[in-house]
Amino acid sequence: MRWLMRLAIVLAFAGSAAAAEQELELSVEGRTTLATLRTPASMGPDTPLVVMTHGTLAHKDMEVVQGIAKALEQRGIASLAHTLSLGADRRKGMYDCAVRHDYVAEDAIAEIGAWVARARGVSRLVFAFGHSRGGNQVARYLAASETPVAGAVLLAPVTAKAEADLRAAYAKTYGKPLAPLLEGATEAVAAGRGGEWLDVPGFIYCRNAVVTARAFASFYGADAGQDTAALVARAKLPVLVFAATKDTVVPDVAASFAPLAASSGGRVQLDTIEDADHFFRDLFAEDVADRIAEFIKQTR
């Protein structure tokens, strides 16, 4: 029995000296949400930790999130990548378009906040990260109230122009004009019928979708929260924004953030990655991780 105890002690110390990966669960407003915590071998209370939010209808295990999380771990930085519930319990993988949609953009604020609070139990130095629409949702989180994060990283965040282009392309993409559908959804919300189900020709990336009026109005109605640069301008924290020169999803990130970066006195930094596309694959993830590590070092 003694040798078993000695073996357990050895394994415990070996585990503490190696990088680790742990699956976590957290209940947020009645739904169980999932996350992956990755910690470097040298993990301690002062090790920086990045809470990572994915893009539209995506999840914590998508390539861009995993790639950057693993690259950060190699640089001694922990990460906590979570999956937004999007109205579902224990959601995994890409959102199934056959499932009804009942969620709004602002739902992410509470979930990001809950995971940041969980991260604060692991590290005293927490940063928020968001990719694509997740970048906009992180900016909404920053602008909503005083936050306990040390800074934020927005990777190819959705811009006001990208949202406007999405609305303008609706008829071409789905064969029916957006205006009557949006008007009906907006009227239903105003009348207190936001939970009313609508059959629409398309919703975000999903064809022939069933969606609540509040969800449709949230994603297609123009609102100030869609201007990510304006949200970042209101925040007081250091923010690092990445643009990719071959990004065809949100091609105007650099143009959107350049004026703010120039006028913020260094609080907002804009970094353009040459030849990267919207998903920063392979070596571009390494470039992003290098720059994040520099950014964290500057803010400590």
Beta-strand (E) ranges in the chain? 20-28, 31-39, 49-53, 78-83, 126-131, 151-155, 197-203, 206-212, 239-244, 268-273
pLDDT at 167: 96
* Secondary structure element (H or E) that encloses residue 263, with its range: helix 253-263
119: phi then psi, degrees, rounded to nearest 5: -65, -35
Dihedral (CA of 249, 252, 254, 258) sign = negative
DSSP for residue 101: B
Tokens read off for 147 = 């936050």
- pTM, 2 dp: 0.92
Percent residues over pLDDT 70 in the chain: 94
Helix, strand, coil fractions of the chain, as percent rounded to 5: 40, 20, 35
Over residues 184-208, the pLDDT tens digits come to: 999 999 999 999 999 999 999 999 9
Over residues 214-231, the pLDDT tens digits come to: 999 999 999 999 999 999
Domains observed in the chain: 15-159+227-299 (3.40.50.1820), 160-223 (no CATH)
pLDDT at 96: 95
The mean predicted confidence, pLDDT, of the chain is: 93
Averaged pLDDT, 88-93? 95
C-alpha dist (Å) from residue 220 to 127, 166, 247: 29, 8, 22
71: phi then psi, degrees, rounded to nearest 5: -65, -35
